[in-house]
Structure 1
């Protein structure tokens, strides 16, 4: 909003008209921040780490989740044009918009306009979940809802999953400056809290199984969220559940070991790329019940325990090779070369 000022770093923003002394705090919730704040409330009510989710928690989670959906979808519409949030854009006036004196479009209409005008794709399951949530909200708000709490929570989990993706892909990248910084800060407790919501976790993991199909041999447990959704690449990786990313083989190897209670001394020299990025006991999604592989976070080389031997000379791990007698050669090529007698010219 124009004319906003902050009266202190690290504190909530307060609206202070130019030339006027700061008084009581004023409401300051522009669209994206307002939507994220609703999501924060949803997380607080559904966070099973804090306490068991009671019917009253679920009630307010549904009400605030529906509010978050409406606000965030319309916030994206505003990026196209302010008139699109009117129920009838043909009769929209700037005066009514600036005074917030108008009837806005429904959630369903917002989805249709975002699809037709902004070119945003929505999956059928996402629109169905939004529609079901709207019905639950209306029943709670006006008539009282008698329904299975687990069913309502599961539907809420689907919408929460959708809104997190919608924010990450369609809204946050469009923000800049202080607005982006504020949104990123406000999203931290939301991103942390959703990990404790079983319905969200189940829904998101089910969707990610489809997205990550074919990448199981490169997918392992994320050190941050502990979900089997970290897809590794040479020198780094990206978790598709919590969004954590690494661009250094040293940092990802260290974080992976630290999550297991181990230290960087466990990192070994890779026989393929000669980088200290080889970690033992790494479990992949394509074989989750295995004891673990030897995996290099630098070059993505992967070995089973029986494929490598400890060199008798320098102790580094090396692929087992046969010696002249047909047995396992206990030396790596470098040590073997050093032990061979020099040829006489």
Structure 2
């Protein structure tokens, strides 16, 4: 990498992983410190933290995975920090293809949006971010959304990897949640506008991101209502709920299981195991829709990329019990014959979530 201006002591994998995670936490603290007076700095530091946590997850699997070009790996250079590291897009691909832990599409979108703002700030100038008060609103919105997904990854999906740092992660979470005061003040500020929209016939729901009654319904669909939150700016869908039940594996009492926040049985408080939910749903909800022939119909989810089929036809909608998304169509892929959800045209004329990487590789190799 040429002449060096910085000299670092050699570290082993454990020491480098620890330094990487602590650096990510430091960037989060710095981001929150800068929110009031330097919100542009805040978004730069927050995005840096996101990338560092992704690299830490990759490095926990193997140190070469955080290199931009693993084929040029040199352990001695790596141990003194002499290497080019992977960026967000490649980190996401390696998470899916090598670790078999795909990051949910909505999370990736939130991280990429943050990255685009960061790039505008660092490499040029962000025309949106010039007034401090207005900028803080925008930054809190972006970070609120990104932290929603990052925190879920750290404390749930990746909990075995980051368990030693849970106290620091939860401390940051509490700091992030203090922005609730700011969100509440923002809600109070625009409350008259919300009331006027209600009076004019607009439907207002509770936003599933900032938890404020400020989600203006833009479009009603069979699977739920698309909305834009007037407080935090998030555009998302309030999915249609289901009252479908399965029996608890401990007390055998029926409970409404389709809820991503439900971790324990409401009757006996026993932990709800994901594997059991899959098994119970196979027994009760694997008949499929009206287009399905006799047999067991469980689809792979294109949203969370779960390697186990997790989408069942529940209350008239294809519903994933891993990421709790609903309403997509399900079809047998004509390319690989797997039963999957996703965009029907993309699956029919290109590929599905199960075979798209192979199809792209074939196109790159053969030109068709």
TM range (shorter): 0.3 to 0.5
TM-score (normalised: structure 2)? 0.44
TM-score (normalised: structure 1)? 0.47
Larger radius of gyration: 1
